């Protein structure tokens, strides 16, 4: 093809593109790769990217087979599928912003471990929506997630199994029988509940 013919073809293509109707948003994302189960589905299925076995009831973080952004300026709620909950696998609901660019992760737990979840298991779904929140500052989430835009926090918990407020008590019966055991004290706010006040228990 001669240079003049190439220029003519390119000019025609540019002219056709200009005359075609414009789209509101040309941004694409992972939602373009996901398919709804039915024509009336509100969400699209999300599958796991790895094999995992839940050996405790603690919440585990699993990588999905999709990565942000969602596309078209949409955000999405992450919810569990009803069929999965019926099997004893529960999904912690999550929110993915339109500017999230990392791997979409699923928070999952079970009350009846151990449970194995094979790779490509469709255990969650994304329900897209368009957020109407006013933009107040130019901060993009990027690959961060799970509170990455807030101030760093250190949250401590006390393991009461190692230092429980206990007291050895002896319960005496009028017949002369007695029983000594360790019991957990109720500290309340500023008070201590004890049977000693009624003369029923002697502390040791």
Burial of 46 (0-12, 13-18, 19+ CB in 10 A): buried
Q: Is 186 a catalytic residue?
A: yes
**193: which DSSP letter?**
B
Give all strands of the β-sheet with 166-172 in edge-to-edge order.
178-184, 166-172, 201-203
Burial of 101 (0-12, 13-18, 19+ CB in 10 A): middle
Yes or no: say if 129 and 73 are a contact pair by the CB < 8 Å rule. no
Yes or no: say if 201 and 169 are a contact pair by the CB < 8 Å rule. yes
Phi, psi values for residue 157, rounded to 5°: -125, 155
Phi, psi values for residue 131, rounded to 5°: -70, 145
Yes or no: say if 105 and 66 are a contact pair by the CB < 8 Å rule. no
Exactly one of 32, 159, 186, 198 is catalytic; name it: 186
Which residues are the active-site residues? 186
């Amino acid at each position: 093809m001669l240079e003049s013919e190439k220029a003519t073809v390119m000019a025609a293509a540019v002219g056709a593109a200009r005359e075609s109707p414009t789209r509101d948003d040309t941004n694409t994302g992972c939602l373009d790769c996901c398919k709804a189960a039915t024509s009336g589905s509100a969400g699209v299925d999300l599958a796991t990217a790895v094999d995992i076995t839940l050996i405790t009831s603690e919440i585990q973080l699993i990588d999905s087979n999709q990565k942000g952004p969602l596309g078209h300026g949409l955000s999405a709620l992450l919810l569990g599928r009803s069929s999965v909950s019926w099997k004893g696998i529960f999904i912690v609901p999550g929110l993915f912003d339109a500017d999230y660019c990392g791997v979409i992760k699923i928070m999952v737990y079970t009350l009846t471990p151990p449970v194995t979840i094979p790779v490509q298991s469709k255990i969650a779904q994304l329900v897209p929506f368009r957020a109407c929140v006013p933009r107040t500052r130019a901060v993009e989430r990027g690959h961060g997630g799970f509170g990455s835009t807030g101030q760093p926090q250190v949250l401590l918990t006390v393991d009461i199994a190692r230092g429980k407020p206990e007291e050895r008590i002896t319960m005496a019966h009028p017949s002369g029988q007695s029983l000594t055991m360790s019991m957990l004290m109720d500290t309340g706010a500023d008070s201590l509940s004890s049977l000693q006040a009624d003369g029923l228990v002697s502390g040791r």
